[in-house]
Amino acid sequence: MISLDIHRRVEAGTRAFDLDVSLSSQARRIALFGPSGAGKSLTIRAIAGLLRLDRGCIVVNGVTLYDSDRGIALSPQARRLGYLQQDYGLFPHLTVIQNIAFGLTRGWLNPRGRRLPEVARRWVDAFDLDAILNSYPSEISGGQKQRVALARALSVEPRLLLLDEPLAALDAGLRVRMREELAALQSRLDIPTILITHDPQDAVMLADQVFRIRDGRIEGDCTPQGLMAAQNATISPSGQSMTPSMTLDALKIA
């Protein structure tokens, strides 16, 4: 189970944004779906412990990661979360093998003469990365970069996998293939995932429950099928675009 009650006011000059996200779900695959600027990435960063909150509570499978009332605030490392960023976050000056092992062993910058930790070897084999272990990020393809980032995220044996627009940087053809690979991976893993995306196809294939987020707040939730029906309903039979309120009605959001 995942329970979020996240509150943070972000100010930049004369502008302010209020993040006020509350949700609870038993689903193993959750998507936060919404446009750019809705607060999706801020929410993921808050869960990961990379954004200081004003108040709130974050609980994952019975483990409290943050609770302002009880004075609990686990460090990002102690939260044991896998975090796949949109740009994958690979270190350009480290090889693939060093990137995967980063975080498993402190100061592990020269892999020569050392064995890859067994927990990481599992994912190197699973993603067929042996041939590029000594390559640098600039020398590998977009799909390979994503697999390397996934191997690094999964090697820490996370209690939750966070996917921050994981397909946004890929071209259309590769996006379809990697979406299918991610869906297959989710079916094999016993790890809950939270995906953030603005692409309904990602949410439909990679989530069991979809929460719609806008202006820093959860507007409601639906099934992936409900989301797709709502997306299809944004164009009326007459060919006219529907209003946002009509789209929400199609989603049957309370």
Q: What is the pLDDT of residue 197?
A: 92
Average pLDDT of 209-230?
A: 92
Please report whether residue 242 resides in a domain. Answer: no
Q: What is the pLDDT of residue 242?
A: 42
pLDDT tens profile 65-75: 999 999 999 99
Q: Which helix (H) or strand (E) holds 251?
A: helix 244-251
Please report whether residue 96 resides in a domain. Answer: yes
Please report whether residue 95 resides in a domain. Answer: yes
pLDDT tens profile 141-158: 888 888 898 888 888 889
DSSP E strands in the chain: the ranges are: 2-12, 15-25, 29-33, 55-60, 63-67, 72-73, 81-84, 160-164, 193-197, 209-214, 217-222
Measured distance CA(16)–CA(9) in Å, rounded: 7
Please report whether residue 122 resides in a domain. Answer: yes
Domain limits at 141? 91-157
Measured distance CA(192)–CA(27) in Å, rounded: 8
More confidently predicted of 249 and 64: 64
Number of CB atoms found within 10 A of residue 20's CB: 15
Please report whether residue 31 resides in a domain. Answer: no
> Count of domains in the chain?
1
